[in-house]
Structure formats: structure tokens, C-alpha cells
Structure 1
């Protein structure tokens, strides 16, 4: 990955966070690559808007996002579908919405952070390099997104999770539990169907391989900074087709 000069908004992961390898959301179900003997220092910052013109950086980030989501969302999309394009990533960087995590100056992960309405923000495009999973890259990117939201006056942070109707996806189940432990709660959903009679065929429904819901999760940024050490006090409902 291409290293890029920081923009001045930076977060360095505290030692106690770097040493909790099992909390990384992109670890999914398996401990890919095992554990490192010494957790590296992770620095996370917003990319400067001019980085959107760096074709090498944009290409590297686009490839990282697409590779991670191809595994994380395996079976949900039609063959050949990609999560994003270089044009979209360049536009997000130019809008000041992409943060990158670095280890020894090398970019090892990224996340998109933006305001979606009023005092509510949202993060997405979360991706960590396969070579650095299990050392806290994903957790640090989410913590950065929340801290950035607070600095911008946001009181709520959200994330959306694509889940299939009729079956349980291991990576999505893992992520749902991981976000729940960090204070995120499901506040609603929207239905995306591929083969339901009369359903809209507009993007992205036409690219899905199976009918899905998008779960909407929200966290109150005023209540806490990290619930990683707490257990979910309630029983987890299956984030599948059924709705209460």
C-alpha cells in the first residue's frame, strides 16, 4: 500500500487496545495469519483532500476495499460485482471522508466517515489488510470515526450491515455481535429484494445474489467511548428475515 502524509487529524491506538487482538471485526470467524508476538503501533488519520488525485494511493485503497468485502460478503453479490471503484474512492478522499490506518508508515486499513444528517454520522468501507488482521486495525478505525464525529459535534454514529434473509452469514453475524459489544444497537432496517415479484430492480438490488436486508445500527456518542470490555446485556436477535 502507498503511504501518504497525514492531514493533521491523527489517532494513535493506546497500548491496551493494540494488545487485544481478538476484538478486530475483520478477523471474522477465523484467526487468519495467527497472532503477532508484538502488537504494532497503529496511527490513524484523515487523508488530505489532495490525496484524491494520487492514482497509486486511490488504486491501492480501492483494491483493499474490494478484496476485503469480497470475502466478508461472499455469497451476497452476483459474480464479478465490486464494492467500489477508483472514481468513487477518489471522490470520497477529495470530500475529506476517508481515514487511513498505518503501521510503520504503510497504509494497512481504511474507513469512510461522513455526516448523514443533523448530528448523525456514519462510517463504512471498513477494511483492514489481510497481513494486519488481529492486531486492532479495524477497532482503531472505528474508534477514530467516533472520535472524529465527536470533534465535529455529532451525537450519534451509525453503520449499516447487509445481511441475507434466508440464511445466516458467519462474517455478518460476527460483525453484528462485535458492533453490539461496542454500544451499537439496531434501530431499523430496509429491505433489498432481488427476486420478489414487483420489487425494485434498481442498484444495488439487481447486483445481489440473494435477497437481503440492510440493518441500521446506531451508537449514542454522548454515553460512552468504548464498550469493548462489556458484554451484551441482552439476548441477540437473529438479524435475518424475521422482524418483531
Structure 2
């Protein structure tokens, strides 16, 4: 028996039977079922940890996470900025978060950490530099431990997992991390409308307040974060919330 001399491009194709169509559909379902599915309702117990340093060398992970953060911020802050899409961060900054050990990541439970498809959300947690000593403070004095403040920012959660506790657990992880480092307060920052209401920011402000945060400072955004002033499409305020730990 000899092999056919017809090339694949010229060989006649067999008609697709109902059985073959069913098989193709089944294979498609099997392939797509490997991706994580969002919960229909209720809480999800995400695995939260500081991102391992080796992920900084994974360009695919870094670029994918950068794109995810920018996409979520573009949607959540639409109306504030004169540019769309809005660039909240870049690969170099995301990589620096990882290498400095300050990127908290929530993973889908039981899944391999380091795969962007299994990342549910993230945020950057850090200790703020101690305030500059006053002229009456001896130069050799150590910083007052009560003045150590943790800061949590760049918080995102995949839209399909909102309402499942991922954001709340990330915030609690950041508070615990800060407490372990000796921090006495936790700080978050928020951009809000000035003379107008942004629905998403109003919800987020209420979410922080229910978690025990209080507004301790509010100024014009151009004063609070000067580099963002020229990018504004409408007037905005810069708000700082803090919570004792």
C-alpha cells in the first residue's frame, strides 16, 4: 500500500458529519473549560501573598498585568482625564513593585501562582518615609514608631470577581503587612470630583469608610499630585484616608 500523492491543499475533504461537529464542539468546551470561571455569587477565598521576585523577569506577566491595571483604571476613572485610555502605570513601575517586595497579589484558590490568567486582583503596599524632623528634633533621634504609616494603592480587582471579597481581603492583607512592619496607621488615597460626582469614586469612598477609614486631608488634585493636573478633563480633588491599626 502506498501513501496518497495528493497534497493536503488539494486532497478532497470529507464532509462534516453530525458526529464530527459534535466532537469539535466538545473539544472547544474542553479547551475553554481550562480557564478560571468567576463565581456565580458569594465569597471567594483568594490566596494572597507578596508577588515572588522571579515574576519581575517574566515579561509576559509584567506586560499583561500592566495592561490589566491600565484597562481597569481607564474604565473606573473615565471622566476625569483628557486622555483615553489612561496610563496608570507602566512595565518598569510594575517590575519595581515586584522587585521591591511591595506588590500584593490575589490568586484564584488552588491554581498555579505566576499565571496571569489566575490573578484576581492586586495592590501596592509600602511604608511611607518618616516625616522630616522639625528644627527642635535632635538630628540623631530615631523616627517615632507611632508615625510609621503604611500606604496601599494601585488596587484593582478583575470586574468579574467584584463583590466576592477579593478587594476586602487585599486591603486586610495590606493592613496586616503594615502592622507586622511596625506601622501604626494605614493610608489610602482617592481622586474625587470637585463640584460633580463620579459614581464609581463615591462607591469607593463609602467602601473605605465602612472599612474604618476617615478622611484626613482633601486638596485640589493639582496641589496634591501636581503632575496629574495637566491631564485633567474636569476639576478634581485629592483625598487622603487613614485608619489606626
TM-score relative to the length of structure 2: 0.70
Contact 1:121 1:154 in 2 (8 A): yes
Alignment match, 2:81: 77
Partners of 2:41 and 2:234 lie apart in 1 by 40
More relative contact order, 1 or 2 (CA 8 Å, 6+ apart): 1
When residues 51 and 162 of structure 1 are mapped into structure 2, their CA distance, relative to the original with a 3 A threshold, is same
Give the greater-gyration-radius structure (CA): 2
Partners of 2:89 and 2:104 lie apart in 1 by 16
Aligned CA-pair RMSD? 2.2
Which runs of structure 1 show a deviation greater than 2 angstroms over 4 or more consecutive aligned residues? 37-41, 199-202
Alignment match, 1:123: 152
TM-score relative to the length of structure 1: 0.70
Alignment match, 1:142: 171
Helix, strand or coil at the partner of 2:233: coil
Alignment match, 1:90: 95
When residues 200 and 69 of structure 1 are mapped into structure 2, their CA distance, relative to the original with a 3 A threshold, is closer
Partners of 1:53 and 1:200 lie apart in 2 by 33
Partners of 1:201 and 1:99 lie apart in 2 by 24
Which of the residues 216, 221, 228 maps onto 1:204?
A: 228
Contact 2:104 2:125 in 1 (8 A): yes
Q: Is residue 68 of structure 1 aligned with residue 72 of structure 2?
A: yes
Partners of 1:200 and 1:73 lie apart in 2 by 17
Unaligned runs of 5+ in 2: 1-36, 112-117, 131-147
Q: What is the count of residue pairs matched by the alignment?
A: 184
Q: Which has the higher helix share?
A: 2
Alignment match, 2:17: none
Contact 2:106 2:170 in 1 (8 A): yes
Helix, strand or coil at the partner of 1:203: helix
Which of the residues 44, 51, 57 maps onto 2:48?
A: 44
